[in-house]
Copies of this chain bind each other. A is one copy, B any other.
Amino acid sequence: MHWDLETEAPKNSIDTTSEVIGFFSEKTYELTNSKEFIESLRVLNANSSELSETDKRIVYLTSKEQSKLSKIAKDKYVEYNQLLSKAQNVWTEARQENDFEKFAPYLEKIITYQKNYTKLIGDKNHPYNVVLDDYEEEMTVAKLDPFFEGLKARIVPLLEKIKQTKQVDMSCLTKKYSIEKQKEYSKKIAAQLGFDFDSGLLKESAHPFTLNFNKYDVRMTTRYIEDLFSSSLFSTVHETGHALYEQNIGDNIYDTVLGTGVSLGIHESQSRFYENLVGKNKAFWLKNYKELQELFPENLDNTTVDEFYKAANFVAPSLIRVEADELTYSLHILVRYELEKEIFENDISVSELPKLWNDKYEKYLGITPDSDANGILQDVHWAAGLFGYFPTYALGSAYASQFFHYMNKDFDVNKSIEENELKPILGYLTKHIHQFGCLKKADNLVMDMCGEELNAQYYIDYLESKFSEIYDL
């Protein structure tokens, strides 16, 4: 139903379908908190030594989810879900009308619920850890603080330097590109990267996303903008990264709850890997640019591969996260991380948030939002109750660089890309990540592959080196 609503449901059907979704979410709550379910989990946990590794992990994750859900009273749960549904509609209007006051009472209720939730679940070190764990198992403020500090210390000055130099020319991407040909190229590049169209679909939606029913049915969307070819191009490559993760889950677990990506951070590492380390890599275009030029001679005949590569990596501090370039993207996340942490730490009133938001944009990106619509109202996440979600975007980029580094110990990745040999890349990622689904914790995946845990150094080094070269620093 989610897929249908986002890609093709007729306008007038939305209310009824939303009711049905509400019905199923209530049933899920009831089933998960039913006596039979709880008793089954108790017996399984009591006899866990007799379970296979796979079953142990299934029981562990299910018990954890059940335990979290059981702490919320059913009426509160249903009420909160109705609040979120309304809040998203109000947010849409508030953003259109640039009216933060309109959204503020909803945001306040959501924050109250979330803070109450962190109290009910409890974390001995930091309340924000509770919601972080919902999207990235065992992620904590203690791990994220040094991560974002490291980014801040080197990316903010790097951006300053870039702002002093001559800007690269990205006009080759903003000409009119035929939508039909964009569609053709999106399909072509997804298949080239390894997307299996017999086990998936590529359609369109307002905001690109990937959704998996199981490894044999992985659906992704992109969006086509006539005068911004980079939008469909890199959205498709990004979503293909997500989709490849899901399509390459092991057959041994694909039809269990373990048969999906383990965490949002690891998931985002796969999409960022393909988007930035393959799709925005010069090596890729050295091989593939000629074909692209032949498809769009009217737009690219007078653009060299070097100019195209630089245009694709154009850097400029901007107000909107989803339109940000690779370098400044993490600074948008830094703003949200610091704000969310403060919300859970202190008694910040909702009315203070727009100013805090704007101050941080000025501090880290050097620009102040001209409106709340382009500031604190830009993301749907808070309206959807998704606190603790944003950091996974930055984690994904960092993981991607770290994995690229270790992949190079197996084979020369750039050489492979330049020769259009993309199978070894997918093979490596499948071997070390995809096949396991949720069987291994994110931390263990990283440790087993790299021999060390999350290390932001690779990411920062990569950004410095890539953008120093592009901008002749």
Contact = CB atoms under 8 A, between A and B. Distances in A.
A10 B198 contact: yes
A298 interface: no
A225 interface: no
Interface string A386-416: 0000000000000000000000000000000
A201 B200 CA distance: 22
A199 B16 contact: no
B16 A213 contact: yes
Contact of A10 (B9, B10, B200): B200
A62 B217 CA distance: 35
A39 interface: no
A12 B197 CA distance: 9
Interface in A275-320: none
Contacts of A352: none
A17 interface: yes
B255 A199 contact: no
A343 B200 CA distance: 44
A164 interface: no
B200 A16 contact: no
A16 B217 contact: yes
Interface in A180-232: 196-201, 213-214, 216-217
A216 B12 CA distance: 5
Nearest to A247: B12
Contact of A217 (B13, B197, B199): B13
Contacts of A200: 10
A201 B10 contact: yes
A59 B303 CA distance: 71
Contacts of A199: 10-13
Contact of A216 (B13, B214, B216, B217): B13
A15 B254 CA distance: 13
Interface in A216-252: 216-217
A36 interface: no
Interface in A11-65: 11-13, 15-17
A13 B217 CA distance: 5
A472 interface: no
18 contacts: A8-B201, A9-B217, A10-B200, A10-B201, A10-B217, A11-B199, A12-B196, A12-B199, A12-B216, A12-B217, A13-B213, A13-B214, A13-B216, A13-B217, A16-B214, A16-B217, A16-B255, A17-B217
Given A10-B200, A12-B198, 14 more contacts: A10-B197, A10-B198, A10-B201, A10-B216, A11-B198, A12-B196, A12-B216, A13-B199, A13-B213, A13-B214, A13-B216, A16-B214, A16-B255, A17-B213
